[in-house]
């Protein structure tokens, strides 16, 4: 295999490690019908994603400076205490979930520092924002979710947007 393919494989692995938590890899490994060889690979990915210094841990550290001094055990407890999917769904319901700039504005308005990389799409930024929100302390996390829910699109607003776009 040539170097470019090796780099592509490694790049994809690092991308996966930055998108999913150790518990998500472990859950995928526990899924019924997964061959034992893939189950072992998913267990290895879960261990790698949980190590400090991996891409996912680095992104989480940069996303929220208020967690300085929080140990690994505390971080993992916070990660498992509230499902990221609920936070991600709240972000996706936002009226500003239209492009990467909108996600960055949401993060800024919530007081969360989020760094965009050149090829980050809105979904990847939304996932990183959801992880950052998930890692904040409980009173703050509830406050942030309430702010997100307040600005969520209503179904009526969505239909009005569709109607306006067809008339133009």
Q: pLDDT tens digits for 134-164?
A: 888 788 888 888 888 777 655 556 667 667 7
**Dist CA 131 CA 83 (whole Å):** 10
Q: Which residues contact 93 (CB under 8 A, 6 or more apart)?
A: 148, 149, 152, 153
120 vs 56: which has the higher pLDDT: 120
At residue 153, the pLDDT reads: 57
103 CB burial (10 A radius; 0-12, 13-18, 19+): buried
At residue 158, the pLDDT reads: 61
Give the tens place of pLDDT for each residue, 55-80: 444 444 444 444 444 555 555 544 44
**The token pair that represents 63 in the structure block:** 């996303």
At residue 64, the pLDDT reads: 43
When computed from its CA atoms, the radius of gyration of the chain, rounded to whole angstroms, is 18
pTM over 0.75: no
């Amino acid at each position: 295999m040539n170097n470019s393919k090796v780099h592509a494989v490694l790049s994809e692995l690092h991308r996966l490690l930055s998108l999913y938590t150790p518990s998500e890899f472990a859950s995928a490994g526990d899924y019924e019908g997964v061959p034992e060889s893939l189950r072992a690979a998913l267990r290895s990915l879960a261990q790698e994603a949980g190590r400090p210094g991996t891409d996912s841990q680095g992104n989480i550290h940069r996303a929220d400076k208020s967690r300085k001094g929080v140990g690994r055990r505390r971080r993992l407890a916070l990660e498992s205490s509230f499902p990221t999917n609920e936070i991600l769904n709240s972000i996706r319901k936002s009226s500003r979930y239209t492009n990467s700039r909108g996600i960055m504005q949401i993060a800024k308005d919530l007081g969360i520092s989020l760094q965009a990389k050149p090829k980050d799409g809105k979904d990847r930024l939304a996932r990183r924002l959801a992880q950052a929100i998930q890692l904040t302390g409980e009173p703050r996390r509830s406050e942030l979710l309430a702010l997100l829910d307040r600005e969520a699109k209503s179904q009526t607003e969505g239909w009005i947007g569709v109607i306006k776009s067809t008339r133009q």
